Structure 1
Amino acid sequence: MVWQVDISVETELSRMCGAWVIDPARLNMLTTLTRDRYLVATPPGHLACQAADMNNHRGVVDLKSTLATVELEITLLQAAFEEESKRTKSKLVAPEWPQVPEQIDLEHPPRAVGSPDLVASALGIARWLETLALAWGSIERQRLARKYLRLDDPSPRALPISLKGVKALDR
């Protein structure tokens, strides 16, 4: 099962881009669907990727590290707000940071309630990633609305993806 989630900076469309059930006899389809994409794979999904001899993707996302990077950014932006509040004479409107999703375990992934067993785990993971991307979009809107938080970066930043074996990337 492959579920594509758009994690780009801003999208006018749904972040849930598409879903495919892959016949184990057609692993070449898995290679095509994941070309130039980031991967999040359960242990069985990882085995399917190995069986397909995939090497055309952008890397395997480290969900724990990616979530930690987003949480750290909220902490840093909040600290910058508090510092600016102390420094300025006018009362600043506090940012309202979004709730980020709780960490998930890919060994026991979240299952989408009411979904068929075949897609429940993939949809649960996709919804988690969608929630994180939406939270990041909210963080960026709040950052860009406040000059003292923008610093030298006046444009929206991409979700800071961490890849397994690689430091955090801004893509």
Structure 2
Amino acid sequence: MPISYFKPIAVIDEVGAIGRIGIWHVDVGHTAAMGAPMPRMAGAWGYALEELDPWKVRSLIEERFIVLAGDTDLLERLAIAHRGIVDVSGTVECARTEVTKLQDAFEAHAAGSRTKLTAPDWPEVPDPVEVAASVPMYPSSDERTGQAYPLARGFEKLAIAWEKVEKQRVQRPFLKPLGGDELRPLPLVTR
């Protein structure tokens, strides 16, 4: 089930071989929500496990939706309360399905219109995992944040594409019933 939410998600990875935890935040809402353009990504928090301060880690992760970039039991080990684990492929599928519904609604409306309507230019909805595979990694970033950084970049691209979809949707009055008058955040699917 899709969940609408504006608070930045936390993308985390625990790099066991080198004993580090990497955390990145990604705003999956829309930049206009803050009144001024804000960066989508914040983070690069990297903690050595032997220096781990559970309070700091909790403060960065608690009560957020979580994207796991690798295998970790960090949430259980530190008893971190969260809003759910994001199902990456489910989220991508949900966003793509929504774009298809919007396109179908546009075509149905255009077929009954007396005037020629300008078709939406929907962006491609990227898969964060595929984007992550193409993100250049450097030894220092891999050591600090593991796969959290490339996967966060993937979610950044997905959130940017979704915002483009939403801006086109709210510009067309006949598409507003499919999501309201306001821009919606990326529809997160959790497991």
TM-score normalized by the length of structure 1: 0.84
Alignment length, in residue pairs?
159
Is the contact between residue 144 and residue 155 of structure 1 (CA under 8 Å) also seen in structure 2? yes
Of the candidates 113, 116, 133, which is equivalent to residue 110 of structure 1? Answer: 133
Is the contact between residue 128 and residue 155 of structure 2 (CA under 8 Å) also seen in structure 1? no
Q: Distance in 2 between matches of 1:2 and 1:21?
A: 7
Q: Distance in 2 between matches of 1:159 and 1:86?
A: 29
Task: Check 1:150–1:3 CA distance in 2 against 1; reply closer, same or farther (3 A cut).
Answer: same
Q: Distance in 2 between matches of 1:86 and 1:115?
A: 52
What pairs up with 1:139-158 in 2 under 5 angstroms? 139-151=165-177, 153-158=180-185
The alignment status of 1:161 with 2:188, answered yes or no, reads: yes
Please list every run of 5 or more consecutive structure 2 residues that lacks an aligned counterpart in the other structure: 1-21
Is the contact between residue 98 and residue 139 of structure 1 (CA under 8 Å) also seen in structure 2? yes
Is the contact between residue 127 and residue 158 of structure 2 (CA under 8 Å) also seen in structure 1? no
Superposition RMSD in Å: 1.9
Deviation at 1:111, TM superposition (A): 6.3
Q: Which has the higher contact order (CA 8 A, sep 6+)?
A: 2
Task: Check 1:134–1:161 CA distance in 2 against 1; reply closer, same or farther (3 A cut).
Answer: same
Q: Distance in 2 between matches of 1:84 and 1:149?
A: 9
Structure in which a larger fraction of residues adopt strand = 2
Q: Distance in 1 between matches of 2:185 and 2:128?
A: 20
Partner residue, 2:159: 133
Task: Check 1:85–1:162 CA distance in 2 against 1; reply closer, same or farther (3 A cut).
Answer: same
Q: Distance in 2 between matches of 1:112 and 1:103?
A: 10
In structure 2, what residue type is equivalent to 1:6?
A: D
Deviation at 1:51, TM superposition (A): 2.2
Is the contact between residue 38 and residue 57 of structure 1 (CA under 8 Å) also seen in structure 2? yes
Is the contact between residue 95 and residue 162 of structure 2 (CA under 8 Å) also seen in structure 1? yes
Deviation at 1:47, TM superposition (A): 2.1
Task: Indicate the percent of aligned positions where both proteins have the same amino acid.
Answer: 31
Task: Check 1:154–1:98 CA distance in 2 against 1; reply closer, same or farther (3 A cut).
Answer: same
Instruction: Render the CA deviation track for 1:58-84: whole Å, top value 9, x for unaligned.
Output: 111111111111000100000011001
Deviation at 1:31, TM superposition (A): 1.5
Instruction: Render the CA deviation track for 1:90-121: whole Å, top value 9, x for unaligned.
Output: 0000000011113628xxx6363043322352
Q: Distance in 2 between matches of 1:76 and 1:36?
A: 31
